[in-house]
Amino acid sequence: MSKQVKLKFKKLLKKAEFVHADLEYHESLLPDAKQEFFAAAQEILNNLSPEIQKKISEERKQKMLAKQAAAVADANDKDSAIQEEKNSSSELLITDEFPEGIELNPDAERAEVPAIKESEVKKMFRGIATVTHPDKLGKDIPPSQKDKLGETFKKAKEAYSNGNWYILYSIAGDLGLPTPEPSEEHIEWLEEDIKFTAGKVSHMGSLLVWVWYIGDEESKKFALRNYFEQVYNHAVDI
């Protein structure tokens, strides 16, 4: 292993650690953001006149009926569905069911995982599973430690499913398990994992609920106005 590869790998490990910490930050707070945002939206909705509330309710019913009809049509027209998928973009779609926003092309599919990477990911996951899987833990292990190892196993399993090499590498290192010697291929895998994770963070950060949650007073008003316009087709004066 050359000095250049070693230093670049070390640098990317720090970057990967940062973007994954950023993702955990967003994932941990997003449920709170949703709860608080929808509570604020419901308060505004409750303060609207009965006439407007009735109008909004009727329009939502019409939207749901139209959506159901469109779903049936799409299911009967495979060619149309395929074309729609091809034409999808990374824009957010606001719907009644998912008012926080849905990315039309979420987490763009990763390229096919190379066989060598798949093999290494599988090998690391199996090694981690031997010391973290609930069925592998001895009876003398304290409950608190079992819970921690159980969470580690879940994290490793998710990383394995996503082909996330960095997470497995990081977990194996924390557990004192053998890790592969860094190479140019590992650098490529790290860069891929970083890009994929950063994309997920970017998507979550663009949701209206998140814009409202972290924003100042004007940002909160902006998010709520957009929410009512896109979901209820009604302009609110905030």
Q: Has residue 199 got a pLDDT over 80?
A: yes
- pLDDT digits over 56-88, tens only? 888 878 877 877 887 777 777 655 544 444 444
Checking if the pLDDT of 193 tops 60, the result is yes
Task: Find, among 201, 173, 177, the residue nearest to 10 by Cα.
Answer: 173
Q: What is the mean pLDDT of residues 228-238?
A: 85
pTM higher than 0.85 for the full model? no
Confidence class of residue 55 from pLDDT cuts 50, 70 and 90? confident
Integer Rg of the chain from CA: 23
Strand-pair partners of 93: 102
Query: Is the pLDDT reported for residue 167 higher than 90?
Result: yes
pLDDT at 102: 37
Q: How large a percentage of the chain has pLDDT more than 70? A: 84
CB atoms under 10 Å from CB of 209, counted, come to 24
Tell me if 125 sits within 8 A of 157, measured CB to CB: yes
